[in-house]
Amino acid sequence: MHSVTSNAVARCFIYSVYEVKTGEIWIDGKPIYRLVVQGGIATTGTFVEIGDMSAYNVAQMVEMGGVFTQSGTGYQIDIGNYASGLHYNYPSARKISLYTSWAGSFNLIFKYTKTTD
């Protein structure tokens, strides 16, 4: 049996609030990056802008999702339609917004390619 020593494979398991190059490759041949965004929402029943991805030079959003926690219970955050969930406004604004009926904290995971690669 062979041991895995590749730095690329090791990076696939790093979750960070800083941008991480995962070692994965998207279908267009570009490397995939991952970023975790953490925060909280006090206002319910409205869209809350939680991030601006323009500083990360996002070319293609590959995957996004996360967990919302309220009173110690975690709920999966789905990609939303207009009325609920996680939204990524692309290509014009590159803003991330979250709509929820609850107040609580969140951990969101984004995977993307970059315009600079």
What pLDDT sits at residue 81? 53
> Number of C-alpha atoms within 13 angstroms, CB side, residue 28?
11
| Cα Rg of the chain, angstroms | 16
Q: How many degrees, rounded to 5, is the angle at CA 26 between CA 114 and CA 2?
A: 120
Amino acid residing at 77: I
What pLDDT sits at residue 112? 92
> Which residues, at least 6 apart from 29, have a Cβ–Cβ distance to it below 8 Å?
none
pLDDT digits (tens, 9 = 90+) for 38-90: 888 887 777 777 777 778 888 888 888 888 888 888 888 777 655 557 777 66
**Would you give the DSSP letter of residue 79?**
B
What pLDDT sits at residue 114? 93
Amino acid residing at 82: Y
Per the structure block, which two tokens stand in for 37? 């965004």
